[in-house]
Every structure is written in structure tokens, then in C-alpha cells.
Amino acid sequence: MTRFPRSDYGALDLYRPDRRPVPVDLSDNTNRWGAHPDALAAVRSADEGTLTRYPDAYARDLHAAIQRRFGVPADTITTGCGSDDILDSTFRAAGPAGGAVHFAGPTFSMVEVLARMNGRTAVEVPWSRALADPDKLLENDPDVVYVCRPNNPTGLQAPRAWLDSLLGAAGSTGPLIVLDEAYADFAGESLVRQAPAHPRLLVVRTLSKAYGLAGCRVGFAVGSPEVAREVEKSRGPYKVSQIAARAAVAALNDADGWVPRTTSECVTNRERLSQALHERGLTPLPSCANFVFLPVAKGSAHAWNLALRDRGVAVRPFSDLCEAGDGLRISMAPWPMLERFLGALDQVIEKGIEQGAMLTGARSDPQTAGSAG
């Protein structure tokens, strides 16, 4: 009997986002203001050794830059090849094979995939139940509880008091609480500084969004020295390339304040786009991230996506999400790009009854999908 392929990989498939080129791409929440100029300069001025020699096994220069920017000790930091790598390593480090990862859903689709890739069971607790009672996430003794704040794809910012009661309930011997703060820059609130003092909290961050380095694949996390060390062990050496570390250090130093400047424009545009959608009688969910989730009629997300793509704009369609149903996630960008999105949207709405009908049934009650922002 063969043991290849692994039976528990079951229905797992390759990740296949629609990456066909399109004039306005608002589909993946990367930074549409471009690369961080200092990161670009650092990559362009790299010397030969950057390519020929191994990087530092655990990216000490990057630890130092994170330490400077966030004011947390170096031994509370772990880094990785994107924050996906950190989530992967964390699920592997926490608890034995066969353990459970609980998460409030809908959320980041990679969570379930990474849990299963590591032989863990992924259990979705609907956001409304989790928000009503954080203990629901702790039932049946999981090894890991994953919370995305602000949440992808809804934009929900779970209230701070709720998070504190979840952390209180986990205590110092409960599951590891993995707090994914991929979009915290756009919400203006973070638990990075609190993480080192908490025995069961790991705050995960990425440089793929506000810092504009998705192509470099750099993420990091902050927790107690013990938690950080176990995740780093599970991750293994040499996961951040020299060229990526150079770019990341330059972006984290952010000498000219590019990050807060573009972040603030992003937040302004998010509010402006939400208002423009409301003016069209639509009901986007309130968002604390760099995207807006627009609910559409059940079963219509795919048709919306194709109709917008035909008009040169890519968004990310979601179908059948737990509690949130169908929707389009629209990444924020400089306003001219969002104007093109609105133009395409208006055309699709105008175009015909069937396409117009795609919006009827759009939920007007965002409460269940998470509006506590």
C-alpha cells in the first residue's frame, strides 16, 4: 500500500489566484501606491555577496530593524518568508500532529489550508458566535486559536475588550492565540508591544501590505521569548533571503515616512469609496483594513467578477462565505484607480436587468458578517 500522496491532503489543491493582467488590479490587497522607495534603492544597490552568500540563519539585521521600529526585544521576534510561513511554522510548533486549529470565520483562506498541510484539524467558529462569547473558540481544547484583526475578507475589527477576554480565558496554559495583524497598519491599533509579556499570544505581521513588499515575502511575529523561539525552531534557518532582508530593513527604517503617508491616503480612500458605494444604494461592510467588502446576491460573485474584468478591473470574488455569503473584496488604491472601478461598476449595474439583479439580495444587515469596527 502506498503512502504517497498523503491521504489527509485530500481535496487540497494548488493556490490558483486569477493573475491574468488587467489595467486596474484591486484583487489582492497589495500596496497599489508602489514599492517603498528606500526598499527599491536597497535592492538596486545590492552587492555580489547579497546573491552568492547565505543570509544570516535567523535574519538578525531584520530583528534589529523590527526591534527599533516596534520597541520590542530581539528575542521576542521571529521572521519568515511571508507571514504565511510564520502561520505554517506556528501551527506545526503548537501541539502534536492531529491537534486542532480553531478560527473565527469567515477569515483568511490560507488558515484552513496551512492547518491541514500540517496534519491539524481546522474548525471554523462563525464570527457572530465567537463575538457573542469568546469561549466558543476555546471549546474542545484546541492547540491554536487564530484571530485575524482586522479580518480578511470582511474588514471587521474585533473589539479590543473582546480580544482581552479571549486572552484572559486562554490564560497562561491554554491554547496559543495567534493574532494576525496583516492589516493593523490601517486600523491604527496593534498588540505587538503587549505580546512579549503574554505567555500565550503571538502577534503576526506582514510587510506585504502597508510596507509594499509582497514580492519580497517577508513577515514577522512577536511573542514571549519562549513562543518566538519555538516558532523560529519550527520554521528553520535561512527563510529570509538577503535581498528580501535588505529591502525589509530599508522599509522598516522608513526614513521619509512613506508608510504612514500612503497608509493615511489608503484610509481616506477607503472611507471615500464606502461612501460612494452607499450613494449608489449599496451596503459595503464597515472596514478597518485596506479593502472594502461589498456583499452581492447569493451565487452572483463570480458573474460580478467577470463583468468587472471585462471592463478592465479586477476585484476578489468570494462565494458562500460563512455568514457573509457572496461578496466582492475591493483593495484600496490611489483614487484614480478607484474611480475606474466605480465607472466599471456603474456600467455593470446599468448594463441590464440580469446584471443589475446581481445586487438585489445584497445583505443590508452587515451585523452578522462583522460590523463592530
Ligand X SMILES: *Cc1c(COP(=O)(O)O)cnc(C)c1O
| Of 83, 241, 242, 287, the one binding ligand X by CB under 6 A | 83
* 154 is an interface residue for ligand X by CB under 6 A: no
* Minimal CB distance residue for ligand X: 82
What DSSP element (H or E) covers 333?
none
Minimum CB distance to ligand X smaller for 145 or for 348:
145
* 208 is an interface residue for ligand X by CB under 6 A: yes
DSSP state, residue 19: -
| Of 79, 90, 118, 152, the one binding ligand X by CB under 6 A | 152
Applying CB under 6 A, what is the total number of residues that bind ligand X?
Answer: 14
| Of 76, 206, 269, 300, the one binding ligand X by CB under 6 A | 206
* 292 is an interface residue for ligand X by CB under 6 A: no
Q: Is the N-terminal amide bond of 153 cis, ω within 30° of 0?
A: yes
CB half-sphere exposure, 369, CA atoms < 13 A: 27
Distances (CA, A) of 81 to 219, 244, 247, 323, 352: 6, 9, 13, 32, 46
Least spacing, CB of residue 208 vs ligand X, in Å:
3
The span of 11-19, 80-88, 309-317, 333-341 binding ligand X (CB under 6 A) equals 80-88
Least spacing, CB of residue 7 vs ligand X, in Å:
27
What DSSP element (H or E) covers 41?
helix 37-44
142 vs 101: CA distance, rounded Å:
6
| Of 182, 201, 222, 324, the one binding ligand X by CB under 6 A | 182
149 vs 127: CA distance, rounded Å:
12
| Of 212, 219, 325, 370, the one binding ligand X by CB under 6 A | 219
Residue listed under C-alpha cell 508608510: 259
**144 strand-pairing partners:** 101, 176
Dihedral, CA of residue 39, residue 30, residue 235 and residue 38, to nearest 10: 10
| Of 25, 38, 84, 326, the one binding ligand X by CB under 6 A | 84
229 vs 223: CA distance, rounded Å:
9
Minimum CB distance to ligand X smaller for 82 or for 106:
82
The counts of H helices and E strands in the chain are 15, 12
Binding mask 8-37 for ligand X (x = CB under 6 A): ---------------------x--------
* 108 is an interface residue for ligand X by CB under 6 A: yes
* 331 is an interface residue for ligand X by CB under 6 A: no
* 181 is an interface residue for ligand X by CB under 6 A: no
Q: What sign does the CA torsion over 363, 365, 370, 373 have?
A: positive
Footprint on this chain of ligand X (rule: CB under 6 A) = 29, 82-84, 108, 148, 152, 180, 182, 206, 208-209, 214, 219
